[in-house]
């Protein structure tokens, strides 16, 4: 990204570098003013506070390398000020790095940490990582994981890497594998669920996903790893990237994910709590893709968290630390 500019009380001018050539002006501004409401950014463009090469343009204007962008002294609301990670979270995230180079960062995301702030939380994983890696001005999430899901999460340090991986995701060229525990005994070998999904609002306004033939196509492959009467330890491979896809497709098989408070079975969840499960049993165990800049094939693995391995041991499906 162009050299980071700290906006104070006077306008500043930044030069668009080759990395951001072709980017829309509104998206370019959003990287400088992460906590400023989008409506305010659009207004600043419409009123001419923001100018490109001294002229007015539309928010959708595509920037070129060498363009001069005038940035006004916008400020975010005090209530939206980003949080700063504490020592424990900082140490946890630093220790969670699985792979890093100048373009990418792959983390083993802890369960219970949202990938971004919002809904009353000023600090999520991406905000914390931007605070820890201040030189990585363009650090962005490549994809997302639910708050209670742990495991492999890809972040991009450069826009080129972000765009390349987004294209790979659209083309189904990113292989993501999950470990999960489903209710009941799995019968037979691998099985693929092809059921469309649609987002809806729950009774209290929370985000929900339902099976709906009129929704978005979604496909998940399930493969048994270790099977018991109470539950089955499974690999889940999503071929699409819909919200809550694995959890809803597991319910379509009448085998909900253990610890799933939103879609799961209360009685089964209570049984699993007695076995030591304190979270959603869903872990992004590996991700494989072609490096968007270097071109080499990468596979990154995140071991099953000890707390989940201990649950498998408690129900007779594996030894602590085992990850078939």
pLDDT at 191 over 70: yes
Write the secondary structure of the chain as one string of H (helix), E (strand) and C (coil): CCCCCCCCCCCEEEECCHHHCCCEHHHHHHHHCCCCCHHHHHHHHHCCCCEECCECCCCCCECCCCCEEEECCCCCCHHHCCCCCCHHHHHHHHHCEEEECCCEEEEEECCCCCCCCECCECCCHHHHHHHHCCCCCCCEECCCCCCCCEEEEEEECCHHHHHHHHHHHHCCCCEEEEEEEEECCCCCCCEEEECCEEEEECCCCCEEEEECCCCECCEEEEEEEEECCCEEEEEEEECCCCCCHHHHHHHHCCCCECCCCCCCCHHHHHHHHHCCCCCCCEEEEEEEEECCCCCCEEEEECCCCHHHHHHHHHCCCCCCCCCC
Task: State the average pLDDT over residues 303-320.
Answer: 90
Give the integer Cα–Cα distance in Å for 15 and 257. 50
**Does residue 323 sit within a domain?**
no
* Residues 13 and 71 sit within 8 Å (Cβ to Cβ): yes
In a domain, 294, yes or no: no
- pTM here is 0.79
Contact 48, 33 (CB under 8 A): no
CA 44 – CA 28 distance, rounded (Å): 13
Which of residues 35, 54, 79 is at a domain's end?
A: 79
Rg of the chain's alpha carbons, rounded to an integer? 22
Which of 17-26, 121-130, 206-215 ranks highest by mean pLDDT?
206-215
55 shares its domain with 85: no
Query: Which CATH number covers residue 75?
Result: 3.10.290.10
Say if residue 212's pLDDT is above 90. yes
Distance CA 173, CA 192 (A): 18
Residue 185 shares a structural domain with residue 283: yes
Tell me whether residue 146 is one of the annotated catalytic residues.
yes
- How many domains does one find in the chain? 3
- Judge whether residue 235 has pLDDT over 80: yes
pLDDT of residue 319: 56
Question: Residues 12-23: what's their mean pLDDT?
Answer: 80
Q: Are residues 42 and 106 in the same domain?
A: no
Sequence-separated contacts (24+) of 164-170 with Cβ below 8 Å? 164/292, 164/293, 165/104, 165/289, 165/292, 166/142, 168/289, 168/290, 168/292, 169/142, 169/143, 169/241
Q: Using the 3D structure, point to which of 165, 183, 216 is the last residue of a domain.
A: 165
CA–CA gap between residue 246 and residue 260 (Å, rounded): 11
In angstroms, the CA 281 to CA 284 distance is 10
The reply to whether 320 falls in a domain is no
Task: Tell me the pLDDT band of 7, cut-offs 50, 70 and 90.
Answer: very low
Is the model's pLDDT at 177 over the cut of 60?
A: yes
CATH number at residue 211: 3.30.2350.10
**Residue 212 counted as domain residue:** yes
pLDDT tens-digit profile of 262-293?
Answer: 999 999 999 999 999 999 999 999 999 999 99
Q: Between these two residues, 131 and 31, which has the higher pLDDT value? A: 131
Q: Specify whether 185 is located in the same domain as 275.
A: yes
Domain membership of residue 182 (yes or no) is yes
> Of 146, 260, 265, 323, which one is the catalytic site residue?
146
301: region left, alpha or beta (phi > 0 left; psi from -120 to 50 alpha):
beta
Q: What domain range is 93 assigned to?
A: 81-165
Q: Are 242 and 218 in contact (CB under 8 A)?
A: yes
pLDDT of residue 2: 44
Domain end call among 112, 134, 165: 165
State yes or no: pLDDT of 138 exceeds 90.
no
Output the six-digit token pair for 125. Answer: 């994983």
86 with 40, same domain: the answer is no
The bridge status of strand 104-109 relative to strand 150-156 is antiparallel
């Amino acid at each position: 990204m162009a050299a980071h500019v700290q906006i104070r009380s006077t306008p500043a001018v930044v030069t668009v570098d080759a990395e951001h050539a072709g980017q829309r002006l509104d998206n370019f501004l959003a990287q400088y003013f992460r906590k400023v409401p989008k409506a305010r950014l659009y207004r600043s463009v419409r009123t001419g506070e923001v100018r490109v090469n001294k002229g007015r343009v539309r928010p959708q204007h595509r920037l070129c390398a060498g363009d001069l962008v005038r940035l006004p002294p916008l400020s975010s609301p005090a209530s939206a000020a980003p949080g700063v990670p504490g020592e424990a979270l900082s140490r946890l995230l630093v220790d969670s790095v699985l792979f890093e180079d100048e373009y990418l960062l792959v983390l083993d995301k802890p369960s219970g940490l949202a990938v971004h702030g919002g809904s009353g939380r000023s600090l999520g994983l991406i905000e914390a990582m931007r605070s820890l890696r201040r030189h990585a001005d363009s650090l962005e999430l490549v994809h997302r994981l639910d708050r209670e899901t742990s495991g492999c999460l890809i972040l991009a340090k450069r826009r080129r890497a972000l765009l390349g991986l987004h294209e790979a995701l659209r083309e189904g060229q990113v292989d993501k594998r999950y470990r999960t525990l489903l209710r009941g005994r799995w019968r037979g070998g691998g099985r693929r669920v092809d059921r469309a999904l649609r987002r809806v609002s729950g009774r209290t306004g929370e985000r929900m996903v339902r099976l709906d033939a009129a929704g978005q196509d979604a496909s998940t492959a399930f493969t048994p790893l270790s099977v018991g009467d109470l539950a089955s330890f499974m690999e889940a491979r999503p071929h699409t990237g819909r919200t809550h896809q694995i959890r809803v497709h597991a319910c379509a098989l009448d085998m909900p994910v253990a610890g799933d408070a939103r879609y799961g079975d209360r009685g089964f969840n209570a049984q699993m709590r007695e076995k030591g499960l304190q979270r959603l049993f869903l872990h992004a165990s590996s991700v494989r893709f072609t490096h968007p800049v270097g071109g080499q094939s990468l596979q990154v693995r995140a071991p099953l968290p000890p707390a989940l391995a201990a649950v498998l041991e408690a129900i007779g499906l594996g030894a602590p630390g085992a990850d078939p």
